[in-house]
Amino acid sequence: MSHHDHGHDAHEHKLPFWQKYIFSVDHKVIGIQYGITALLFLFFGFCLMMLMRWQLAFPGQPLPWPWLANLFSEKQMMSGIMLPEFYNQLGAMHGTIMIFLGVVPLAVGAFGNYVVPLQVGAPDMAFPKLNAASYWAYFWGGVIMLLSFFIPEGGAAQSGWTSYPPLSNIAQDGQTWWLFGMVLLITSSLLGSINIIVTIVQLRADGLTFFRLPFFVWAQLVTSFLLLLAFPPLEAAGILQLMDRLLDTSFFMPTGLVVSGEVSKLAGGGNPLLWQHLFWFLAHPEVYVLILPAMGIVAEIMAVNTRKPIYGYKTMIYSIIFLGFMSFIVWAHHMFLTGMSTKMSSFFQITTMIISIPSVVILTALILTLWGGSIRYNTPMLFAIAFLPMFAIGGLTGLPLGLTAADIHLHDTYYVIGHFHYVVAPGTIFALFAGIYHWFPKVTGRKMSEVLGKIHFFFSFIFINGVFMPMFSLGLAGVSRRLWDQTQYAHAVPTQPLNVVISYSAWLLALAQIPFILNFFGSIFFGKKVNNNPWDATTLEWAAPSPPGHGNFETAPSVYRGPYEYSVPGQTQDFSPQHLQGGK
């Protein structure tokens, strides 16, 4: 493979700027568009949360900076004091934005789009135009969500990312915007997942059998099936809620509901729990959509940086497939307290315990991958290693939630918030950072700074634990989630100081992202130039030029071996790229 000039640039016909970078159908450009949009949304969602953290740490006190308070209307802040309605908007939109506009688009839209075709040796996605359509549906879905903050009557949605009726049915217009936004996001996921599945199944390079695929590709394949099959029920639920809101049907409205002292005039006969079932039928698989790509990224980085194959490659693949199947039959563990029969709750308790087995298998395999490796502690590897204990904390704290007896105490408390944030924030988001540091050289041809990267890592690691660890204590002390001011409850007064710890950690966590932002933009222009395969890795994306030109590979690659042949005895180098013939 040539390490010198990238001859492809010369062959490319000149496209006008807007066609090359804005309305492109090239999977790499779309991947970058997804990545940048998703990072901006993550930042925005983080800002919403930082505002909430002021109110939670110092309930009822005005914001310390007048210029900040002046940004908000008097329907949002009263002389700098956050109104409860606005707090609810921030909470609902924080959750929605982080999950549907931040993490999933980054994990699947950006990494899936950019890396999967390269790793399977394809020139592009199977359906490039659908791919672009998927990005634009996501983009406009996001715009609708953002604009909803400016609705004069009631602002953005206030009913949580879960949007439980009947509250969401009678909420103001923001909820309708939320539903339209979600329909676009669901469409986007649908197009994206079909594309990824077809690309993986059909466009693998010659010799690249299913059991030679990198684990990351497997993770994306299973994730895409989850998106494909779990999102439509939420779409159905969204349509039903739109019918309820716009055409006055009563799918989720029970008979004789009293709202603000008045009996509802609707026909009634509906069932609020119906929404919960449809919602969680999506949203449990959705949490695996959040975690599986992260596991895939971590596996890739571990193999490269331990210089040995990942432990139990096939076991991990079987586990992830099993995880995918099981994730469709555990959803009601979010609903143990809705009065379901003990038979039902026993069923979902058992399936929940079963689904934690493959998660533990994957985690154990990743830990054993470290065993006896000659580990390179670079920035991507630090984030990947940190993923392991963080995901372990998140997963293990899930077990008590899955046991009905313990969940009676823990349901809808800060303990649940702690649980899922450990899996998604220091878990998935750390893995996504690892992925950014790892694949940055492929995308730009330059490496990110190790010094800034390590500063980013260590401070993020400390402060993120400062944010989420105290939440377990809050939850065990009985503090409910979604409270505007917990000191209004006597039992929650003693734990209020923990909120101050959490808030300072959160704000410091924001400062800890400054080295990342500097590093990210600085390295695009000033980073150290690298060759096509700076990490001495084996998988196909490193056989392409950095950055790959249109069509990706100079000649269509063929594959001769498995994905992780590191330190093979008798070889001259400690890595044997998949596309090179010869040797054992």
Partner 1 sequence: MSAEIRFIAKPHPVTGVTNSKLGMWCFLSSEIMLFGALFSTFILLRAGSPAWPHGYDLLNVPLATVNTLILIASSITMVMGWAELAGKNLKAFKKYLAATIVLGCAFLALKGFEYGMKFEHHIYPSKNNFYGIYFTITGLHVLHLVCGVVVNLYFLFPGSKMWEKDPEQFLGRIEAAGLYWHFVDLVWLFVFPTLYLL
Residues forming the site for partner 1 (CB under 8 A): 7-8, 11-12, 122-124, 126-128, 130, 190, 193-195, 197-198, 201-203, 228-233, 235-237, 239-240, 243, 247-251, 266-267, 269-271, 274, 277-278, 281, 549-556
Which residues sit opposite 16 in a β-bridge? none
- How many residues at the interface with Cu ion, by CB under 5 A? 1
> Does residue 171 belong to the site contacting ligand HEM (CB under 6 A)?
no
576 binds, among partner 1, ligand HEM, Cu ion, none (CB under 5 to 8 A by kind): none
Close Cβ partners of 377 (under 8 Å, ≥ 6 residues apart): 305
Would you list the DSSP string of 494-522? TTHHHHHHHHHHHHHHHHTTHHHHHHHHH
The span from the CA of 63 to the CA of 222, in Å, is: 45
**From candidates 35, 402, 426, 534, binder to ligand HEM by CB under 6 A:** 402
Binding piece for Cu ion, criterion CB under 5 A, among 284-292, 316-324, 343-351, 428-436: 284-292
The span from the CA of 444 to the CA of 435, in Å, is: 14
| DSSP tally for the chain: helices H, then strands E | 21, 6
**From candidates 94, 212, 284, 446, binder to Cu ion by CB under 5 A:** 284
What's the token pair of residue 283? 């949203």
> Does residue 419 belong to the site contacting Cu ion (CB under 5 A)?
no
Residue type, 30: I
- Other Cβ atoms closer than 10 A to 105: 32
Output 95 or 373, the one with its CB closest to ligand HEM: 95
Residue type, 345: S
Output 169 or 404, the one with its CB closest to ligand HEM: 404
Would you list the DSSP string of 181-224? HHHHHHHHHHHHHHHHHHHHHH-PPBT--GGGS-HHHHHHHHHH
Output 237 or 401, the one with its CB closest to ligand HEM: 401
> Does residue 297 belong to the site contacting ligand HEM (CB under 6 A)?
no
Q: How far is the CB of 476 from ligand HEM (least distance, A)?
A: 13
What's the token pair of residue 288? 């695996």
Binding piece for Cu ion, criterion CB under 5 A, among 169-177, 278-286, 434-442, 447-455: 278-286
The span from the CA of 25 to the CA of 315, in Å, is: 36
> Does residue 421 belong to the site contacting Cu ion (CB under 5 A)?
no
Which residue from 406, 383, 239 is spatially nearest to 336, judged by alpha carbons? 406
438 binds, among ligand HEM, Cu ion, partner 1, none (CB under 5 to 8 A by kind): none
> Does residue 333 belong to the site contacting ligand HEM (CB under 6 A)?
yes
Residue type, 543: A
> Does residue 411 belong to the site contacting Cu ion (CB under 5 A)?
no
What's the token pair of residue 490? 């006597």
The span from the CA of 333 to the CA of 348, in Å, is: 6
Output 250 or 345, the one with its CB closest to partner 1: 250
310 binds, among Cu ion, partner 1, ligand HEM, none (CB under 5 to 8 A by kind): none
- For residue 140, CA distances in Å to 133, 182, 248 come to 11, 10, 27
> Does residue 401 belong to the site contacting ligand HEM (CB under 6 A)?
yes
Output 124 or 300, the one with its CB closest to partner 1: 124
Residues that bind ligand HEM (CB under 6 A): 162, 287, 290-291, 333-334, 352, 356, 359, 395, 398-399, 401-402, 407, 410-411, 416, 419-420, 423-424, 428
